[in-house]
Chains A and B, each alone.
Chain A
Amino acid sequence: RERHRAKRRDGDREKKKRRKGRRRRASRAGEREDELQARHEKREAGRRKRAKNYQESEGRERDEEEQAQIKTGKTAKTKKNIKNEKTRKVEQEEGEAEERNAKGKKKHGSAKKEEKDEDGGKCAAKEKTQEVKKKKHKRKGADTLNSLSPEELEKLKEAVDERKKLIQGLRGKPWSMKKKLVTLRESQEFVEKYEGALGKGKGRKLYAYKVMMAKKWMKFQRDFENFKTACIPWEMKIKEIESHFGSSVASYFIFLRWMYGINMILFGLTFGLVMVPEALMGRPYGSIPRKTVPRAEEASAMDFAVLWDFGGYAQYSVLFYGYYNNQRAIGWLKFRMPLSYFLVGVGTVAYSYMVVIRTMARNANESGVGDDNSFNFSWKTFTSWDYLIGNPETADNKFASITTSFKEAILEEQESRKDDNIHLTRFLRVLANFLVLCCLAGSGYLIYFVVRRSQKFALDGLDTHTWWERNEVNMVMSLLGMFCPMLFDVISALENYHPRVALQWQLGRIFALFLGNLYTFIIALMDEINLKREEEKIVKFNITTWEASLYNSTVSENSTGPPITIQPADVPRGPCWETMVGQEFVRLIISDTMTTYITLLIGDFLRAVLVRFLNYCWCWDLEAGFPSYSEFDVSGNVLGLIFNQGMIWMGAFYAPCLPALNVLRLHVSMYLQCWAVMCCNVPQERVFKASGSNNFYMAMLLVILFLSTLPAIYTIVTIPPSFDCGPFSGKKRMFDVIQETLESDFPAWFSKVFSSASNPGLVLPFILLMVLAIYYLQSTSKSYKEANVELKKKLQTQNEENKKKNKRAALKAQMDLEEARKAASQTADSSQRLYHGKNRRNPPAPVREQGLPATRAPVPRNYHHGNHGAPGYLPGFPRQSEPRMHRVPSLQRH
């Protein structure tokens, strides 16, 4: 029987070896999972530590013994007996330890209470063992065959459980790292060795199998997680940037990636539901006038300059609104083109709203309720380091910035006490805002002036003017958009805000600037639309006369001849304001992109090259001094991105190619900017964490989304579509397409239901209900927030109270300790000797505790109320006077 056992064990060991790696990983994962429990665990673990020490040594001995058994193959009854004795001893000793612990922790002077405590300690120990037994029974209920003696098995089981618990709670232990590592390794080895040996017979195999599957599943999950991370595009790039530049710069790139994702979906919608069906199933190019380049433009339609301006063949293609036909259904699929066009236009906007708002809500949930005002220095001390930095240079910068921020904070504190500079600061802030306003007004006026001038040019005819004059509006807008933020940045140095606040101000200002520019542009566009509509009326009139004349001429010549075929290129046509709007937006996007890239190349790359290579032959240090390398401008880039997106939303209805262009642009700028940042920028001097600013970006995006859908919806709703181009030509309004579909494609009852549902008598109550629901949710969330704040305050005051109490108790303890020392100094030696005689391994607890500083002594070991927050006890559990705990046990020994 013994040999059989040995064999089995050998097999097991091999298996274990194989599983070793997996198991370690799994245990680590477990560690992470159980972090929450750790606090609770810690106390218990502390209590059990001593007992564990025994078991550890015991386990080792047992291990040796077993090996000996395997080698010799002899029966080991005597040894077993010894072992059992030992385990029993351990149990006894454990009990003693518990007693001592209990005594040590509950500090009562009287002997009666001590006795009680002893009982309590024993009870606790018993409970513990019972607990362990229960667990074991649960897990091992199926095991009937026992090759090990039950008692032994029990002991082993308990040891393994202890080890597991130790591993889980190891993180929270106040030990040195080395000790932690050593303990971890030892415990893991132990667990690996004996975990498999617990099951018996059939159950054992099953158990081993189960364990193996668990490990495999864990490993698979881990691999899957890794795979998922690897699937996130540009993750490594962004991480690298984060390590070099801190999280604020990385937040821009994360935002860019997010934007890219959104645009991919917009692109998929427009491309898949509008552009591709039209290109595949719609009438081909040249079949009808709106799909043909007019005769006058034919000569230059393929010139690069014209194509670059999105005229010529580009204008008469699926890229723009005007190309689409108002045929209700196209191709063999009977694809409803106009309906699809309209729904995609509405759907992109709706989808964007949904995504932005959902992201905002999620971010709002994540950001906790924290107040930055109190504990300023504590925050600075404990939270100012950005742990994502992995580059020594950035770390140096961060170090410097932390020190300067400390200096500044100290100065601020002093100043706030002095309280005389606040007026100066206020004045400076007002002044800065005034300057910024002046700047905004100036730029607004300049754009207005330029737009008016360009309208004059347009009336004169564009060919008489130079390229500069023709592109004046775009140039001025781009230049102002580029230089004004720099000026704002300089002005904001006056205000002396915290960089995060300063960033928000800066963002707000640039936002105002861009918004002003954009809306000036839109107003100019509106003027142009009105002009085009005037033109359209004339053309319409002309066309009727032209048709009449054509008809008359044909009739007058001969009525029997073949019907005249007119080349579609020759047919006169309206100006098609929708295509014009689309073209303007596409041009704006292109010029914007070009400006961004050129600034990047000149402002960053060229500067970096000059600084780097001229530094060898220059009279001062170019790198550290005057021109230096440029910093990455987070606010400007973020806003550029947001406004770019706004233009996409605005223009996408009239130019279905815009999302595609934007995807291209974002893709290129991801690579280009990543490269530029890593190659020619230096980390910011004041690196700060960007955790708070993400929702700010989102809020701006939402505002822009709203503001950009406003003009688009306005044009859709109020202006009638052109009569001879686009999917809605011939209709009074663009949204008539829905009504048309309802009438002709759906059964009659459906349209009835729809019309009755859209009855104001039904819609109004519904809206009212929604408003009420929103109001209700809003108020509840507000009250929750308030309750949170209140609870926080309560916690704080409690903590303070406890601190005071602790201080008092500690002082008292110290005084009493002095007394106790005096009293016990004569008898201490003998008591120590006694201890050593009694138990060899356990260092005498009271003596050790005496060695601790008195302030550390009052650590509550209140097992029954183990769930309280660690450092502060609630006032409901007043502390007893500690002082005697140090002395009492030693007295008791006598």
Chain B
Amino acid sequence: MVSPAIALAFLPLLLTLIIRYRFYFVLFYRAVLVRSWKDCVTGLSREERAYQYVLTHAIPGDPDSILEAFDIWCSKVEFISNIGPKKGKILDRLLMEQSPLTVLELGAHCGYSTVRIARALPLGARLYSIEMDQRNAAIAEKIIRLAGFDDDTVELIVNPSDEVIPRLRSDYGLERLDFVFMDHWKKCYAPDLQMLEGSGLLGKGSMIVADNVLFPGAPKFLRHIRKSGLYEWKVHRATLEYSKGIRDGMAELVYLGIK
């Protein structure tokens, strides 16, 4: 029988763990507990609740106000893993510098990043956004239209990314992608990137940006870009969206092509 004194000696360890990993506990609470509770209470999905909030709090036709409403909802009310304002700024900067004409977005979720990208695009550019889930895609569509982007600017493709990428050239008449933004399933990063390489849509100077490479993390993806030597890459270190203590990174790759 272990005496109570020995058990008490483990108290500092417990406290340490709680304090050190508090952000993860908070994240768990907000992303899992609150979400399932609200799902039960309201009967709506998380994305629908977010849409309702945005609809009531944002000005239609103004992308900035829509993004702001999203940010407030995600930081104050519930948690959705959008790209978030801080990493979003990096993305904006990269888009401004690059000013790409053809942009592919993998994983639109509920349209936050789509609006964010579309806002920063130059005139005449076109954004192809791929979303796998039907319900999310419907909400993303609504959000995009609410922000005032029409079909010519943003095209939403409802299909899994691994089905769409091989057909991009044939079905959508694409010759070259200037910019690719990845924010879908982290496990799909590496295979999708390889598929993109194989499809020949990446040209010299094409930029690929991948979110959440450190948390939840895409180790295979990082390993691939490290080893393939096809890219000039760096990881922008930041924190996880809407959370202060969890470190995350956004990978920026520039395709160099095969030498």
Contacts and interface: CB of A to CB of B under 8 A. Distances in A.
A615 B222 CA distance: 14
Interface string A471-482: 010011001100
A153 interface: no
Contacts of B5: 446, 449-450, 453, 472, 476
A484 to B, nearest CB: 5
A interface residue count range (under 10 / 10 to 19 / 20 to 34 / 35 or more): 20 to 34
Given A484-B12, A487-B15, A490-B16, A476 B6 contact: yes
Interface string A610-641: 00000100011101111000000000000000
A61 B111 CA distance: 79
Interface in A468-515: 468-469, 472, 475-476, 479-480, 483-484, 486-487, 489-491
A821 to B, nearest CB: 41
Interface in B210-258: 214-219, 237
B10 interface: yes
Task: Identify which of A487, A491, A619 gathers the most chain B CB atoms within 10 Å of its CB.
Answer: A487
B40 interface: no
Nearest to A439: B12
Interface stretch (B18-26, B132-140, B172-180, B197-205): B18-26
Interface of B: 1-3, 5-6, 8-13, 15-16, 19-21, 24, 186, 214-219, 237
A623 B11 CA distance: 27
**Looking at A466, A483, A621, which has the most chain B CB atoms within 10 Å of its CB?**
A621
6 contacts: A450-B5, A468-B3, A483-B11, A487-B15, A490-B15, A625-B216
B214 A624 contact: yes
B-side interface mostly: helix
A718 to B, nearest CB: 32
A715 to B, nearest CB: 28
Given A487-B12, A491-B19, A621-B217, 12 more contacts: A439-B12, A443-B12, A450-B5, A468-B2, A475-B6, A480-B12, A486-B16, A490-B19, A619-B216, A620-B216, A621-B216, A625-B217
A710 interface: no
Contacts of A466: 1
A103 B218 CA distance: 68
A469 B3 contact: yes
A195 B19 CA distance: 72
Interface of A: 400, 439, 443, 446, 449-450, 453, 466, 468-469, 472, 475-476, 479-480, 483-484, 486-487, 489-491, 615, 619-621, 623-626
Contacts of A487: 12-13, 15-16, 19
B9 A624 contact: no
B216 A480 contact: no
A interface majority secondary structure = helix
B9 A446 contact: yes
Nearest to A480: B9
Contacts of B218: 621
B215 A621 contact: yes
Contacts of A443: 12
Contacts, number: 73
The 8 A-B residue pairs with the shortest CB-CB distance, nearest first, are: A621-B217, A479-B9, A483-B12, A620-B216, A483-B13, A486-B16, A487-B12, A490-B19
Name the residue in A476, A619, A624 with the highest tally of chain B Cβ atoms < 10 Å from its Cβ.
Answer: A624
B121 to A, nearest CB: 30
Given A479-B10, A624-B219, A625-B215, A400 B237 contact: yes
A443 B9 CA distance: 8
Contacts of A484: 12
Max count, chain A CB within 10 A of own CB: residue among B2, B10, B215, B217:
B217
A466 B6 CA distance: 14
A623 B6 contact: no
B215 A479 contact: no
A453 B5 CA distance: 10
A449 B10 CA distance: 16
Contact of B214 (A469, A475, A490, A621): A621
A486 B216 CA distance: 25
A446 B10 CA distance: 12
A190 to B, nearest CB: 44
Nearest to A621: B217
Nearest to B21: A626
Contacts of B219: 615, 621, 623-624
Nearest to B15: A487
A483 B15 CA distance: 10
A483 B8 CA distance: 11
Nearest to B249: A624
Contacts of B216: 619-621, 625
A77 B42 CA distance: 113
A449 B8 CA distance: 12
A610 to B, nearest CB: 15
A850 B247 CA distance: 55
A620 B10 contact: no
A682 to B, nearest CB: 14
B189 to A, nearest CB: 11
A450 B4 CA distance: 10
B25 to A, nearest CB: 11
Nearest to A481: B9
A489 B12 CA distance: 11
A400 B186 CA distance: 24
Contacts of A489: 16
B6 A479 contact: yes
Contacts of B21: 626
B196 to A, nearest CB: 22
A858 B94 CA distance: 45
Nearest to A476: B9
Contacts of A468: 1-3, 6
Nearest to B8: A446
Given A472-B6, A475-B6, A476-B5, A486 B214 contact: no
Contacts of B11: 483
B9 A475 contact: yes
A449 B16 CA distance: 23
B217 A620 contact: yes
Nearest to B6: A475
Nearest to A627: B21
A167 B197 CA distance: 54
B219 to A, nearest CB: 5
A15 to B, nearest CB: 52
A470 to B, nearest CB: 10
A487 B12 CA distance: 6
Contact of B3 (A472, A490, A624): A472
A449 B24 CA distance: 35
A472 B16 CA distance: 23
B187 to A, nearest CB: 9
A626 B24 contact: yes
B237 to A, nearest CB: 7
Q: Which of B1, B9, B19, B214 gathers the greatest number of chain A CB atoms within 10 Å?
A: B9
B215 A620 contact: yes
Nearest to A615: B219
Contacts of B6: 468, 472, 475-476, 479
Contacts of A439: 12
Contacts of B215: 620-621, 624-626
B19 to A, nearest CB: 5
Contacts of A486: 12-13, 16
Nearest to B14: A483
Residue picked from A476, A489, A490, A623, most chain B C-beta under 10 Å: A490
B150 to A, nearest CB: 38
Nearest to A477: B9
A625 B246 CA distance: 9
B128 to A, nearest CB: 28
Nearest to B2: A468
Nearest to A449: B5
Contacts of A623: 219
B171 to A, nearest CB: 33
